[in-house]
């Protein structure tokens, strides 16, 4: 597997994303859930090229939908993570691609279209930003932590529990952030810009590359309240720089759950 070629392929999506977009190219999938023609074009471009390069590997993308992972290798793609940001010209969106080898995620790349930053990780090979090794911050105390929150915008029914937890985290932490792109949240934890990230109901394409990135950068990715993380259609995830911080955040979550 030539990961450098895959990274270069992902970087080629910038030319698609840079093309102007009009209102008629924005489509509603659900409440606060949008897809643009650019999402579809990026996915089709990457899927076609990956098939030409590695025809034996399957493909799962956000715009084609979820299926349970089995024993065969599969590419997992979110063509534009942070679509609402993209529509609003917020310039905080990314392409996220991961490779599942039939047992686990072994490669991931996250490309921030607008900054040009490219994060990637290889199983047991480390995590990198623009080719240079990165590591989590090492902050392991909630009092000192900058915590990134995900509001699960497609699930407004979670708002009461979520924001009660967020308020308590704000009080106990250094500060909180809300980026609007799960892929970039993981990437920022991996490189030490953020110390923790939590969100409910993430899809596997939102987080497959990011999970590996954080782990290879020395961080911890686990279930939201307790236990290990099991890949599925909806995942409640906590990504942190260390286990003590994870337990402190979990205590806040448990305390504020109805």
User: Is residue 125's pLDDT more than 70?
Assistant: yes
Per cent of the chain over pLDDT 70 is: 91
- Kindly list the distances between the CA atom of residue 15 and the CA atoms of 79, 114, 164, 172, in Å, as whole numbers in the listed order: 13, 11, 41, 43
The residue behind tokens 């394409």 is 205
Say whether pLDDT at 197 is over 70.
Answer: yes
Contact 39, 80 (CB under 8 A): yes
**pLDDT of 24 strictly over 90:** no
In this predicted structure, what is the pLDDT of residue 32?
43
CATH says 142-255 is which class? alpha beta
Q: Which of 69, 190, 78 is closest to 129 using CA atoms?
A: 190
CB within 8 A of 100, min separation 6: which ones? 69, 73, 74, 75, 76, 106, 208
Reported residue count of the chain is 258
36 vs 110 pLDDT, higher one: 110
Q: What class, spelled out in words, does domain 3-133 have in CATH? A: alpha beta
Which helix (H) or strand (E) segment is 17 a member of?
A: helix 14-17
Residues 6+ apart with CB under 8 A from 217: 121, 126, 127, 134, 135, 136, 189, 190, 191
pLDDT (0 to 100) of residue 33: 47
Residue 147 has pLDDT above 90, yes or no: yes
Domain locations along the chain: 3-133, 142-255
Which strand (E) or helix (H) includes residue 143? none
Average pLDDT on 80-102 reads 90
The lowest-confidence range among 62-76, 110-124, 163-177, 194-208 is 62-76
CA distance 258 to 255: 8
CA distances 147 to 23, 97, 199, 238, Å, are 34, 24, 11, 11
The pLDDT mean for the chain works out to: 90
pLDDT (average), residues 164-185: 96
* Measured distance CA(15)–CA(34) in Å, rounded: 21
């Amino acid at each position: 597997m030539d990961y450098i070629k895959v990274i270069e392929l992902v970087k080629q999506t910038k030319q698609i994303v840079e093309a102007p977009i009009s209102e008629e190219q924005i489509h509603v999938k659900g409440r606060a859930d949008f897809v643009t023609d650019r999402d579809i074009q990026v996915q089709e471009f990457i899927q076609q090229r990956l098939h030409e390069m590695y025809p034996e590997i399957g493909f799962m993308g956000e715009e084609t939908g979820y299926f349970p992972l089995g024993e065969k290798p599969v590419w997992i793609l979110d063509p534009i993570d942070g679509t609402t940001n993209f529509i609003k010209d917020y310039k905080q969106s990314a392409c996220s691609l991961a490779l599942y080898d039939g047992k686990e995620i072994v490669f991931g790349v996250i490309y921030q279209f607008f900054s040009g930053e490219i994060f990637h990780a290889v199983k047991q090979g480390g995590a990198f930003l623009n080719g240079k090794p990165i590591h989590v911050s090492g902050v392991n105390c909630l009092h000192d932590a900058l915590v990134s929150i995900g509001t699960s915008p497609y699930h407004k029914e979670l708002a009461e529990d979520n924001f009660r937890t967020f308020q308590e985290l704000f009080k106990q932490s250094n500060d909180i952030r809300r980026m609007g792109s799960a892929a970039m949240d993981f990437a920022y934890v991996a490189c030490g810009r953020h110390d923790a990230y939590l969100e409910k109901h993430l899809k596997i394409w939102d987080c497959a590359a990011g999970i590996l990135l954080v782990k290879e950068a020395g961080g911890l990715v686990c279930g939201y309240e307790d236990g290990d993380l099991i890949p599925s259609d909806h995942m409640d995830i906590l990504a942190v720089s260390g286990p003590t911080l994870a337990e402190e955040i979990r205590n806040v979550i448990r305390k504020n759950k109805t």
